[in-house]
């Protein structure tokens, strides 16, 4: 499969994701063990309701132990989204993040610190404090060479592009490789 064909296919898939999300196609119903647990509230007899809660919480606990259900709080989801920032493929959607998000919660930029920088034949390669690695994919250059300890600001562009500014300099286009 040629690279241009693959790039076109990825572009089409990414372009259809927002429309599908608006149409509500990615909204998943709550897991069955959760629904069964919540159904216990409707039982009027106290002893039957308690027996239902005991039975359903045991089933819910077993489902979480088998990792059929994963429980996460909002801060953990935000941290996971931040960790996925920069991947142009809809990897976050594949992992269950996104799709029903409010655009106001979408991460548009991150700030970090350079831990490693080197100039390659393609341009700059930066390693950041969060463990991500970014590689330059345009011909611009930084005025001052990036060095470990320099602050970095990465901003999301359009069509899967990202702009990296080191120490407040003019941003260059880069892509995340790790």
Looking at residue 25, what is its pLDDT? 45
* Whether pTM exceeds 0.85: no
Distance CA 31, CA 117 (A): 45
Place of tokens 């003019």: 170
Query: How distant, in Å, are the alpha carbons of 24, 143, 156, 164, 175 from that of 138?
Result: 37, 15, 15, 11, 10
Contact 175, 88 (CB under 8 A): yes
CA distance 36 to 170: 55
Using left for φ > 0, alpha for ψ between -120 and 50, and beta otherwise, residue 31 falls in beta
d(CA 174, CA 86): 9
* pLDDT score of 103: 53
Angle at 141 between CA 137 and CA 144, to 5 degrees: 135
Query: Collapsing DSSP states into helix, strand and coil, what is residue 94?
Result: helix
What is the structure's pLDDT at 171?
A: 92
For residue 130, list its beta bridge partners. none
**Gap between the Cα atoms of 171 and 178, Å rounded:** 20
Residue 169 has pLDDT above 70, yes or no: yes
Cα–Cα distance measured from residue 165 to residue 122, given in angstroms and rounded to the nearest whole number: 17
* More reliable by pLDDT, 114 or 70: 114
- Of the candidate ranges 17-21, 116-120, 156-160, the one whose mean pLDDT is the lowest: 17-21
Q: With 80 as the cut, is the pLDDT of residue 131 above it?
A: yes
Mean pLDDT in residue range 57-82: 79
pLDDT at 12: 44
- Would you kindly state where each structural domain of the chain is located, as residue ranges? 16-26+73-105, 32-65, 109-176
Asked if residue 84 has pLDDT above 80, the reply is no
Say if residue 127's pLDDT is above 90.
Answer: yes
Which of the two residues, 106 and 63, has the higher pLDDT score? 63
Q: Per-residue pLDDT averaged across 20-49, rounded?
A: 76
**Cβ count within 10 A of residue 75:** 8
């Amino acid at each position: 499969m040629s690279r241009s064909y693959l790039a076109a296919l990825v572009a089409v898939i990414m372009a259809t994701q927002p429309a599908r999300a608006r149409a509500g196609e990615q909204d998943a119903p709550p897991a069955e063990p959760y629904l069964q647990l919540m159904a216990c509230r409707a039982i009027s007899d106290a002893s039957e309701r308690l027996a239902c809660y005991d039975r359903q919480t045991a089933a819910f606990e077993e489902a979480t132990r088998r990792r059929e259900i994963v429980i996460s709080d909002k801060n953990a989801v935000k941290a996971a989204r931040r960790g996925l920032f920069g991947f142009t493929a809809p990897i976050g959607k594949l992992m269950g993040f996104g799709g029903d998000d409010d655009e106001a919660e979408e991460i548009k930029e991150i700030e970090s610190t350079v831990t490693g920088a080197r100039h390659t034949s393609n341009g700059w390669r930066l390693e950041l404090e969060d463990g991500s690695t970014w590689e330059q994919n345009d011909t611009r250059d930084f005025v001052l060479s990036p060095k470990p300890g320099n602050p970095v600001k990465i901003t999301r562009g359009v069509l899967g592009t990202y702009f990296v500014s080191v120490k407040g300099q003019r941003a260059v286009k880069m892509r995340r490789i790790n």
